[in-house]
Amino acid sequence: MKKMFGVIGDPIAHSMSPAMHNDLFELYGIDASYLPFRVIKDDLEDAVKGLKALGTSGFNVTIPHKTKIMPLLDKIDPLAEAIGAVNTVKNENGLFTGYNTDGPGFVKGLEGHAADFKERSALIIGAGGAARGIYLSMAKAGVKRIDIFNRTMEKAEELVKTCPYEVKSRVLNRANAERLLGEYQLIIQTTSIGMVPEVDFSPLSLENLSTKALVSDIIYNPLKTKILKDAAINGAATQNGIDMFVYQGALAFEKWTGIFPDTQRMKENVLRHLGGYTC
Ligand code: ATR
């Protein structure tokens, strides 16, 4: 029987996940379909019950449901529990298990740009939901130093305090982050600064940036944010958010099918949808 997968969120019309996963099902000869479902906040519980009653094999979860869905699932993977968000659900013998592949997807995407990432000193900009997933996944992967700069320092302090993995971390204000910038070989931008309407803004000055650094932005629209342009001008390597998006999808696909898919093909597919090209 044909298997059903999907993504629930609101808004959902512009999600690139259906095109990405349906292409993979076809590529690997898997008889399955992946559909977008707009689910408003008040309908989340009914939607999860419905997906279970219909025997859905798995689904992705996006804004605004990543945290609220957790008590509605049967099991939660420990990393997703620590992050406090689920973006992937798998039906395991009738029980829904929640995973987080966003943070691990970011880490997997790093491997291609900085194979030595575990040895690098990292600075994360931001301390929201996305930063939380990335910080904890990097700490779990064995990165030894991860400092955080966030406008609201208390949020960064909370993140450091609640981390169950061994890692050295300092919480910095903007002035200190800019002053110490040369110490980092990995800088990860997780805020919305750089997206429309803030395309001409960067969360911090890169004056002291090391040319040995990789600057990674999780934004993929636009493909080149202001901070990535500044990084390139300063001679540093750059990575945009396409990798994180593609690898979170690849890890979800692997959980559902046991196949780690062709990420280069996925990237090309996503870029076609965005109508652009990346380095
Ligand atoms: P997400 O799930 O995408 O991470 P979020 O949890 O709302 O979204 O987090 C947004 C992050 O972007 C936070 O780190 C936020 O900083 P605060 O904790 O101080 O709110 C940061 N952010 C958003 N807009 C910002 C702005 N204009 N200036 C500085 N930081 C900003």
The mean pLDDT of 137-151, rounded to a whole number, is 98
Beta bridge partner(s), residue 237: 214
How far is it, in rounded angstroms, from Cα 126 to Cα 119?
Answer: 22
Q: Which residue among the candidates 2, 3, 52, 66 is catalytic per the annotation?
A: 66
Please tell me the pTM assigned to this model: 0.96
Residue 145 binned pLDDT confidence (cut-offs 50, 70, 90): very high
CB 39 within 8 A of CB 93: no
CA pair distance 40, 11, nearest whole angstrom: 9
- Give the Cβ contact number of residue 279 at 10 Å: 10
Report cis status (omega within 30 of 0) of the bond before 197. yes
Average pLDDT, integer, range 56-64: 98
Question: Which amino acids bring their CB within 6 angstroms of ligand 1?
Answer: 126-131, 150-152, 155, 190-193, 203
What is the pLDDT, as a whole number, of residue 276? 58
| pLDDT, the chain, mean | 97
Residue 196, pLDDT above cutoff 60 = yes
The reported pLDDT for the residue numbered 278 is 47
pLDDT in tens, 22-38: 999 999 999 999 999 99
pLDDT at 186 over 80: yes
User: Region 104-110: what's the mean pLDDT?
Assistant: 98
Per-residue pLDDT at 279? 41
Ligand 1 midpoint to CA 189 (Å) = 10
Range in 34-38, 84-88, 174-178, 275-279 the model is least confident about: 275-279
pLDDT over threshold 50, residue 231: yes
- Tell me, yes or no, if 66 is annotated catalytic: yes
Does pLDDT of 277 surpass 60?
no
What is the rounded distance in angstroms from the CA atom of residue 90 to the CA atom of residue 73? 10
Rounded average pLDDT over 208-220? 98
Counting ligand 1 atoms within 8 A of each CB, the residue from 61, 65, 151, 199 with the most, and so the one to mutate, is: 151
Cα separation, 8 vs 40, in Å, equals 9
pLDDT of res. 275: 84
Distance, CA 130 to ligand 1 centroid (Å)? 9
Among protein residues, the one whose CA lies closest to atom 20 of ligand 1? 152
Cα(43)–Cα(48) distance, integer angstroms: 9
Dist. CA 168 → ligand 1 center (Å): 23
**pLDDT of 8 higher than 80:** yes
The yes-or-no verdict on residue 177 having pLDDT over 50 is: yes
Rounded to an integer, the average pLDDT of 57-81 is 98
For the chain, give the percent of residues with pLDDT over 70: 99
Long-range contacts (CB closer than 8 Å, 24 or more residues apart) made by 45-52? 45/72, 47/8, 48/72, 48/73, 48/96, 51/6, 51/8, 51/96, 52/91, 52/94, 52/96
